[in-house]
Amino acid sequence: MKRLLALAVMLLLLPVAAAAATVKLAEIHGAISPASAGYFLRALGDAQKSGAELLVLKLDTPGGLDTAMREMIQGILASPVPVAVWVAPAGARAASAGTYLLYASHLAAMAPGTNLGAATPVAIGIGGEAARPGAKPDDGKGEKTEKGAAGSAMEKKATHDAAAYLRSLAQLRGRNVAWAERAVREAESLSADEALRDKVIDLVAADLPELLRQAHGRRIALAAGEKTLALTGAAVVTVERNWQERLLAAVADPNIALILLMLGVYGLLFELYTPGFGVSGIVGAICLLLALYALAMLPINAAGALLLLLGIALMAAEAFMPSFGAFGVGGIVAFVAGAVMLIDGEVPGLEVSLALVVPLAAASALVLAGIGAFALRARRRPTVSGVEAMAGMSVEALQDFTREGWVLAAGERWQARSSRPLARGERARIVAVDGLTLIVEPGDKGEQS
């Protein structure tokens, strides 16, 4: 009787135990950047702290930065929690850096209608040399192959390093090593079904419940040993980005960084035109700092950055020292060239769009034209204040004097010097100002007040 009671209790507790399993879900859509790496590593840490059974990374990326990708892979390799990288939804891709993440994962999955591959390095590290995607590599001896010429020494080093890295991940996870080599050296790509057939991935799943169903019971090799996934009835908890990660992801876009840079410069320039630290100066300073922070995370081309700064400096010089357009035109040309060259290498998803550069340059030209027209109109206006405006003004002698004496001008006492004697109350006109002395000239007959 006791045995039957214990068995009944165990059967009742089985659904509770199954429901206790937790699966964490993280989602990355877009280029792999420091913001992506920070979010993923936080999600991985959250999964470890909560004792999650599995962390699923839902991925759709054209690639990204090598340094950010390697940080994520290091986190996966050292993780005590199994990580499944799932390329989804239909139409998504895991190109370039995404292929490396897929190979590094404990469980690689794709949704139908997705693809992976094209893992030829286009920017290995910050400021790295670019290798031409799809170019036929050399034969390892520096000689020409039938489909292309041997690349530069840096290109070969980048390609060999990337190929060895992906090959090591394939060997670690027991996946297709030969295709990993071709994905790097020949930029090959595969569909989801082809990847499953060639043992590049472990399963194809249209949605998350199907992924968990197929993953249930699989034995996963972790750094600490093997683990069998128990995912029946598992609760899925999505790890949302916090506000810092959302802000970082927004400003890490080169296009957003460029806009922030221009807003910062124009805000500070406007503040200089209108003295008194106000809203434009505060907003400009904040935008400029955010732009510099974003650019510090991106693979910046030094020549492009210098051209960009030169262009901004020339446009600012045109505003302060009108040169009939010479500074302004040169600044716009330098700005456009620098913006196009700003990102070092053709990193997928991290390039400056010409569709943004051209409107920014046009807006800068319009701003400069407006400032120039305003300055020209201001120069043509008559002087209404200062000593320059006193020429021609009428004054009244406050005393009799032969050469120098006191006069009343604009309600104030001034020292005056006259070419002939003036009597008290006689009026004269100012012809010049010599320091704090007025040069006056009386009329032919003089005037009495």
- Residue positions annotated with a catalytic role: 96, 157
Q: What CA–CA distances, in Å, run from 19 to 52, 81, 215, 376?
A: 12, 18, 16, 76
What is the spatial distance between Cα 421 and Cα 432, in angstroms, rounded to a whole number? 18
Q: Are 44 and 14 in contact (CB under 8 A)?
A: no
Instruction: For the chain, give the longest Cα–Cα distance.
Output: 139
Across the beta sheet with 93-95, the strand order is 93-95, 115-117, 189-191
Q: Which residues contact 198 (CB under 8 A, 6 or more apart)?
A: 176, 179, 190
User: In whole angstroms, what is the distance from residue 168 CA to residue 179 CA?
Assistant: 12
**3-state class (DSSP) for residue 115:** strand
What's the distance, CA 262 to chain centroid? 13
CA distance 267 to 325: 22
